[in-house]
Structure 1
Amino acid sequence: MRHRYSILFFPLHIIVDFLSLNVGFVGAYWIKFADIQSVTHFPYESLWIAFNLVWLVEIIVFKPYIYPRQLFKLDHLLRKLALLVGVHMAVIAIFWVAVKGFYYSREHLLIAYVLFVGLAALFRLSSLLFLREYRTRGYNNRRYAIVGYGKLATTIRSFYDAHPEMGFHFCGYFDDHTDENQSLLTGSYAELQYHIKQNEIDCVYCCMPYVNNDQLRVIVESAESANYQVKLLIDFRGFLAKGTSVEYHDFLPVLNVSSQMLLDFRVNVLKRAFDMAFSTVALGCGAPLLLLMAAITKTTSKGPILYAQERIGRDGKPFTIYKFRSMYTDAEIAGPLLSAGAKDNRITPWGRFMRQTRLDELPQFYNVLKGDMSVVGPRPERQFFIDQIVEIAPEYKNLLKVKPGITSIGQVEFGYAASIDEMVERLRYDLLYPERRSFIYDMWIIMLTVRVMVQGRGK
């Protein structure tokens, strides 16, 4: 059987990661408590089970061990590991809150994740080095042929020749014979299927437009019975520099050439799923806190509990944002004004505490569930202030390409702005977000926000 050992990589990867996860958990327990036996007793046995169940669900959902050889690189492997660990930490944090696990040691969790990431990263590095050397020596190779001789064909061969660690072995060019390519071809189109069977070719690269539809149909229809893959090569390099995207008109793929890339679909889907899950947990588990804050807001000053105001969201669409009221009801009787921070006498004493701890923003999880906002994203502003900001900093319009958020890097690093100049200054932080937007970046901002809330450093 071809590549009989390749099938072992997948279960081996799973087994080693589970071993690393459990060694990290138990090892951290021993480092923290100098004991091993009690890790199987209450309360840590439930946390240990949660550790493994969450990782199992991640494997089923994200399928992290399925990737082509071209992506078997250290940076790609570590990015995937970081994503998985980030999701794992977030779910364990939610589990901690749900079970009210005040008896768990944060130091133990930190050590457990450090050990796990270290062991998992070491395994990935070792696997990468082993496979590179193994494939460079001629083992575990994939045999490939190229159909349609031309510049694109020589480019793909040069790529694999320059990267022997990927384990691709060239088995010839196939095309119609001409005076120019006669000495370079292994065979014609008619001879292709014979060579595929004789050389046990795994992959056939078809270079467009040198292969016509009838020839391509024969190659594709024979692929299943002869057990090889068919891959199309189309030279888009001249277009990719300008930015491209693929649209599907029914089953027909259409290359869209434009000056702006479409937002990454996978990031958007993952971000929306996380927003809904996080907001549901926050509103559900935080309901007693929300009711307590509502009661305190109502009894400490006259006026409504919630403050509703129109803000501008993604693509310039207005929406109504909700917050716990932190100012007196006549705060903006003279017109729209920015908060002057701690010295602003329009803020109630209770409102000042809520602003310092960011607790006044909690009702915005409802905005997240509605889809108006995200958990992480640039803070939304009123059109009145946006018009003034754009006059000074037109690049503010870039923030309208993404959903506004409850918290942002600008809100964490700078805080509330007391003037248009300060809003422009905060802008230099928020402009980083549309370009760096990722799940890991969002988790990092959330952790910084929690630190600000606990320390009461909001301003």
Structure 2
Amino acid sequence: MRHRYSILFFPLHIIVDFLSLNAAFLGGYWIKFQTTETVSAPPYASLWWLFNAVWLVEILILKPYIYPRQLFKANHLLMNLLVLTTIHVAVISICWVAIKGYYYSREHLLITYTLFVSMAAAVRIGGLIFLQEYRARGYNNRRYIIVGYGKLADSIRSFYEAHPEMGFRFCGYFDRPSPENEGLLQGDYASLEPYITRESIDCIYCCMPYIDNDQMKVITDRAESMDYQVKLLVDFRGFMARGASVEYHDFLPVLNLSSQMLADFRVNTLKRAFDIVFSLGVLILGFPIFLILGLITRLTSSGPVLYAQERVGRDGKIFSIYKFRSMYTDAEKSGPVLSGGLLDSRITPWGRFMRQTRLDELPQFVNVLKGDMSVVGPRPERQYFIDKIVEIAPEYQSLLKVKPGITSIGQIKFGYAATIEEMVQRLRYDLLYPDRRSFLFDMWIIAQTLRVMAQGRGK
């Protein structure tokens, strides 16, 4: 059985909110003054009228009660309520200051808004639960068909079957007959229009690229006269998994297939700001420690205090990384060699201590300020070793899309790698970072790094 009362939701929602607003105003007045007899007399009569007028203007301008079924959820309803209430509070406050209405009770206003938000939220949640259950039982449904059969068509049908509370009822697939869809179609293109009329179809999903373009144009052209919605379903999932994004050139949507996931503006902006502030703090406050570490390094073994080495950064950019020297000079005179761990004979006794406590990495905050590195990110490697790693684990290339860091998940969980195989093992940890990176996750990695340094467990 198919009932459609959606047209009543809009006026009902308005009426309920006005009743809640006025009940809250009266309730707040009674709680504050223990009477309601004087609420309709000056000066509160004007405030009461203003409360309703402001809410009415909000409704007329913002049209807040129009929700697609896919967005008819508790979080959207409550967020919308909070936005409307915040605007209402702001306008009332401005009017209060403008008319110098300091004789109005602040406590009454606070109680009024508390009561209103509570009642309006309760009505919304209660109505949502009722409506979802009502639709799940088959009432107030929207009948839809899918034109163009394929995997994408099955996906949208599965979605609505998993969410019966949305009230979408599947009425069949339509496409040109083929061996792939034999026995699955409700009809072909020729039977589409009579079926739409006979079954009162509300929505047609057109699946690209399965649907014929000419037929899609016919469906679109007749949508208004036959009173149904047309929704174009395009399978962007493969592109989005690789970080594609949608750009708008005026009204024209353009799919950008370049990887944007790892260059998210908000994440990178916050991350870069933190890198600069944190690095400056370490370099300024830790300057005396830097001098002491440099002096000990110089006195305990011959050679320069700092050690510079070429590493590969984001997008293959070569840069020089700085460290306090922890090895004897000419340790790699025969070519690139991985450290054999803390027992490596090329490491000085003082260098062994610095590696255990990660103090040898401190000069890299200069690299962070220069923009070559970040505080948190996969450790940068030399091209020689990258080539070796890629032969075993080609997925390492994905880490070159992220700015390298002083510390990483791999550094915490694994530490220094003595062989290519160990570098690949550490890689398994670092591969977790790009998809999980966030400001809070970075803070967790920094906290774990400080713990490793304090315990001297670096290896």
Question: Is the counterpart of residue 253 in structure 1 residue 238 in structure 2?
Answer: no
Match of 2:147 in 1: 147
Match of 2:293 in 1: none
Q: Distance in 2 between matches of 1:60 and 1:3?
A: 28
Larger Cα Rg: Structure 1 or Structure 2?
2
Structure 1 spans left out of the alignment, 5+ residues: 264-314, 317-386, 397-430, 433-459
Q: 1:18 to 1:242 in 2, by over 3 A?
A: farther
Q: Distance in 2 between matches of 1:173 and 1:189?
A: 10
Q: 1:392 to 1:85 in 2, by over 3 A?
A: farther
Q: Distance in 1 between matches of 2:54 and 2:242?
A: 41
One-letter code of the match for 2:151?
K
Q: 1:53 to 1:214 in 2, by over 3 A?
A: same
What are the residue-to-residue correspondences of 1:184-263 with 2, within 5 Å? 184-241=184-241, 243-249=243-249, 251-257=251-257, 258-259=260-261, 260=263
Question: Is the counterpart of residue 173 in structure 1 residue 173 in structure 2?
Answer: yes
**Contact 1:245 / 1:262 at 8 angstroms: preserved in 2?**
no
Q: What is the DSSP-based 3-state SS (H/G/I as helix, E as strand, rest coil) of the residue aligned with 1:233? A: strand
One-letter code of the match for 2:126?
S
Displacement after TM superposition at 1:245 (Å): 4.3
Deviations 1:15-42 (A, max 9, x none): 1001101100111001100111211122
What are the residue-to-residue correspondences of 1:361-376 with 2, within 5 Å? none
Deviations 1:22-75 (A, max 9, x none): 100111001100111211122212221221122112112221111101111111
Q: 1:34 to 1:241 in 2, by over 3 A?
A: farther
Q: Distance in 1 between matches of 2:215 and 2:231?
A: 14
Displacement after TM superposition at 1:391 (Å): 3.1
Question: Is the counterpart of residue 50 in structure 1 residue 50 in structure 2?
Answer: yes
Of 347, 359, 369, which aligns to 1:391? 369
Displacement after TM superposition at 1:235 (Å): 1.5
One-letter code of the match for 1:77?
L
Displacement after TM superposition at 1:244 (Å): 4.9
Q: 1:15 to 1:183 in 2, by over 3 A?
A: same
Deviations 1:370-390 (A, max 9, x none): xxxxxxxxxxxxxxxxx9997
Match of 1:133 in 2: 133
Q: 1:392 to 1:48 in 2, by over 3 A?
A: farther
Q: What is the DSSP-based 3-state SS (H/G/I as helix, E as strand, rest coil) of the residue aligned with 2:114? A: helix
Q: 1:12 to 1:192 in 2, by over 3 A?
A: same
What are the residue-to-residue correspondences of 1:32-47 with 2, within 5 Å? 32-47=32-47
What's the % identity of the aligned pairs? 64
Deviations 1:335-394 (A, max 9, x none): xxxxxxxxxxxxxxxxxxxxxxxxxxxxxxxxxxxxxxxxxxxxxxxxxxxx99973998
Match of 1:121 in 2: 121
One-letter code of the match for 1:11?
P
Deviations 1:307-345 (A, max 9, x none): xxxxxxxx99xxxxxxxxxxxxxxxxxxxxxxxxxxxxx
One-letter code of the match for 2:76?
H
Q: What is the DSSP-based 3-state SS (H/G/I as helix, E as strand, rest coil) of the residue aligned with 1:186? A: strand
**Contact 2:4 / 2:141 at 8 angstroms: preserved in 1?**
no
Match of 1:406 in 2: none
**Contact 2:21 / 2:116 at 8 angstroms: preserved in 1?**
yes
Q: What is the DSSP-based 3-state SS (H/G/I as helix, E as strand, rest coil) of the residue aligned with 2:179? A: coil
Displacement after TM superposition at 1:247 (Å): 3.2
Q: What is the DSSP-based 3-state SS (H/G/I as helix, E as strand, rest coil) of the residue aligned with 1:39? A: coil
Q: What is the DSSP-based 3-state SS (H/G/I as helix, E as strand, rest coil) of the residue aligned with 2:255? A: strand
Q: Distance in 2 between matches of 1:68 and 1:58?
A: 20
What are the residue-to-residue correspondences of 1:41-440 with 2, within 5 Å? 41-241=41-241, 243-249=243-249, 251-257=251-257, 258-259=260-261, 260=263, 391=369
Q: Distance in 2 between matches of 1:102 and 1:137?
A: 53
Displacement after TM superposition at 1:254 (Å): 1.1
**Contact 2:28 / 2:109 at 8 angstroms: preserved in 1?**
yes
Deviations 1:381-439 (A, max 9, x none): xxxxxx9997399879xxxxxxxxxxxxxxxxxxxxxxxxxxxxxxxxxx79xxxxxxx
Q: 1:256 to 1:37 in 2, by over 3 A?
A: farther
Q: What is the DSSP-based 3-state SS (H/G/I as helix, E as strand, rest coil) of the residue aligned with 1:220? A: helix
Deviates more, 1:83-92 or 1:115-124: 83-92
One-letter code of the match for 1:80?
N
RMSD over aligned Cα atoms: 3.4
**Contact 2:3 / 2:139 at 8 angstroms: preserved in 1?**
no
Q: Distance in 1 between matches of 2:64 and 2:256?
A: 29
Displacement after TM superposition at 1:250 (Å): 5.3
Q: Distance in 2 between matches of 1:15 and 1:177?
A: 51
Q: Distance in 2 between matches of 1:150 and 1:192?
A: 18
Q: 1:242 to 1:36 in 2, by over 3 A?
A: farther
Q: What is the DSSP-based 3-state SS (H/G/I as helix, E as strand, rest coil) of the residue aligned with 2:247? A: strand
What are the residue-to-residue correspondences of 1:437-452 with 2, within 5 Å? none
Q: 1:139 to 1:29 in 2, by over 3 A?
A: same
Q: Distance in 2 between matches of 1:159 and 1:148?
A: 17
Q: Distance in 2 between matches of 1:108 and 1:389?
A: 57
Deviations 1:251-302 (A, max 9, x none): 5321234334578xxxxxxxxxxxxxxxxxxxxxxxxxxxxxxxxxxxxxxx
One-letter code of the match for 2:121?
A
Deviations 1:127-170 (A, max 9, x none): 11111121111111100000111111001000101111111100
Q: Distance in 2 between matches of 1:216 and 1:262?
A: 37
Deviates more, 1:245-254 or 1:94-103: 245-254
**Contact 1:244 / 1:261 at 8 angstroms: preserved in 2?**
no
Q: Distance in 2 between matches of 1:249 and 1:390?
A: 35
One-letter code of the match for 1:231?
K
Q: 1:23 to 1:195 in 2, by over 3 A?
A: same
Q: What is the DSSP-based 3-state SS (H/G/I as helix, E as strand, rest coil) of the residue aligned with 1:101? A: coil
Q: What is the DSSP-based 3-state SS (H/G/I as helix, E as strand, rest coil) of the residue aligned with 2:38? A: helix
One-letter code of the match for 2:369?
E
Q: Distance in 1 between matches of 2:93 and 2:152?
A: 50
Q: Distance in 2 between matches of 1:389 and 1:113?
A: 52
Q: Distance in 1 between matches of 2:31 and 2:173?
A: 59
